[in-house]
A and B are shown apart, each in its own frame.
Chain A
């Protein structure tokens, strides 16, 4: 029995088989691995997105906390940042004393990130009440000033001569972190 297949049909069959093989090879060796890679990349992107959202939320919470702290401690932050000025201090608090004389002794020590200046003070007061008022006022001053021991009161006629040292705290320039940070984002 003779099978009669035309040349044209064989040609058609060969081309069909070749193209079919190409389609299968392309699909299994290129397209499907690329599809899997696509799914992996999509999953990674989703994970990254959720992590970024967490970071963003934490960033916003931290920023809010920082702003709250800054507003709550505005006076203290400004006070630490203000350089101590003898003349200004004397002018501001002279009214509490009959006479006031102060002298800066320079940097006494460094307490962590802060410089501590020692200021000697001699003054004359009419009554202890003036001193109480001074102590109250010094807590509202432009600087962080701590009255230090020893405090000496000597009766001088109708007046009381007092001498004491004050510690003035300012922050070191290299630790000026609160001002440098830009929180406008």
Chain B
């Protein structure tokens, strides 16, 4: 370094101490700002992810609702289908039993199956055959049985047998009334 009596030394504001101080604070402020920026970015990212998740949740929820409605509808379809199939099977069994019930000596000319009854038209050699071989089993099945006979020219009897089952609820209420 040169010293002079006539030329003054140039003084700078950036002394070594000040430079050191500025460097120290610059690094500190840089670190603080970096951390702040990082936190801001992460917050923004979290909020964006949450929005996306919320949308996914709404889509899933709608899909679940639709599927549950479909499940309910399929269960209703299945129940109705099974009910119809069962009714058809029961009907088949009923008709099988009906025709098995008719003895060989009695000839049917007409049979009407009702929801709660059975009407039979036919011919029988005599009342006893009808009473023992047809009416007895019919009585065991139906709650009310009515029979009427008409003589034919060859000595046989035409008959009309009307049989009804009582509704279960009606039957119970009638029994209660009878007990009273």
CA distance A153 to B107 in the complex (A): 13
Nearest Cβ distance between residue B165 and chain A, in whole angstroms? 12
Name the A residues within 8 Å of B96 (CB-CB): 128, 132
Name the A residues within 8 Å of B54 (CB-CB): 48
Evaluate contact between B61 and A149: CB separation under 8 angstroms.
no
Evaluate contact between B43 and A38: CB separation under 8 angstroms.
yes
Q: Does A84 contact B (CB under 8 A)?
A: no
CA distance A5 to B110 in the complex (A): 134
Q: Does A80 contact B (CB under 8 A)?
A: yes
Give the interface size class of chain B: 35 or more
Between B70, B85, B87, B112, the greatest number of chain A beta carbons within 10 A of the residue's beta carbon is seen for B70
CA distance A58 to B61 in the complex (A): 10
Q: Does B99 contact A (CB under 8 A)?
A: yes
Q: Does B68 contact A (CB under 8 A)?
A: yes
Asked, given contacts A48-B50, A128-B99, A181-B66, whether A150 binds B56 with beta carbons under 8 Å apart, the answer is no
Q: Does A90 contact B (CB under 8 A)?
A: no
Asked, given contacts A16-B21, A76-B77, A79-B81, whether A45 binds B115 with beta carbons under 8 Å apart, the answer is no
Q: How would residues 108 to 149 of chain B score, 1 for a CB under 8 Å from any chain A CB and 0 otherwise?
A: 111111110000000000000000000000000000000000
Asked, given contacts A48-B50, A147-B88, whether A63 binds B67 with beta carbons under 8 Å apart, the answer is yes
B94: nearest chain-A partner, CB-CB: A151
Stretch at the interface among B2-10, B33-41, B150-158, B171-179: B33-41
Query: Restricting to B15-56, which residues have a CB under 8 Å from any CB of A?
Result: 15, 17-18, 21, 25, 28-29, 32, 35-36, 39-40, 42-43, 46-47, 49-50, 53-54, 56
8 Å CB contact of A59 from B35, B60, B71, B89: B60
Nearest Cβ distance between residue B129 and chain A, in whole angstroms? 19
Give the interface size class of chain A: 35 or more
The A interface is mostly helix, strand or loop, or mixed, namely helix
CA distance A128 to B18 in the complex (A): 117
Nearest Cβ distance between residue A183 and chain B, in whole angstroms? 7
B100: nearest chain-A partner, CB-CB: A128
Evaluate contact between B77 and A153: CB separation under 8 angstroms.
no
Q: Does B105 contact A (CB under 8 A)?
A: no
Q: How would residues 29 to 54 of chain A score, 1 for a CB under 8 Å from any chain B CB and 0 otherwise?
A: 01100110110011011001101100
Asked, given contacts A38-B39, A55-B60, A154-B110, whether A76 binds B67 with beta carbons under 8 Å apart, the answer is no
Evaluate contact between A34 and B40: CB separation under 8 angstroms.
yes
CA distance A184 to B114 in the complex (A): 48
8 Å CB contact of B64 from A59, A72, A113, A151: A59
Query: Restricting to A48-78, which residues have a CB under 8 Å from any CB of B?
Result: 48-49, 51-52, 55-56, 58-59, 62-63, 65-66, 69-70, 72-73, 76-77
Asked, given contacts A146-B84, A152-B110, whether A177 binds B115 with beta carbons under 8 Å apart, the answer is no
Q: Other than A73-B74, A152-B110, give 18 A-B pairs with Cβ distance below 8 A.
A: A15-B18, A37-B43, A41-B50, A55-B61, A59-B64, A62-B71, A80-B81, A128-B99, A131-B95, A135-B89, A135-B95, A144-B81, A151-B112, A151-B113, A153-B111, A155-B109, A175-B73, A178-B77
Can you list the 9 inter-chain pairs with the closest CB atoms, starting with the nearest?
A76-B81, A41-B46, A146-B84, A135-B92, A149-B115, A19-B25, A151-B113, A153-B111, A55-B60
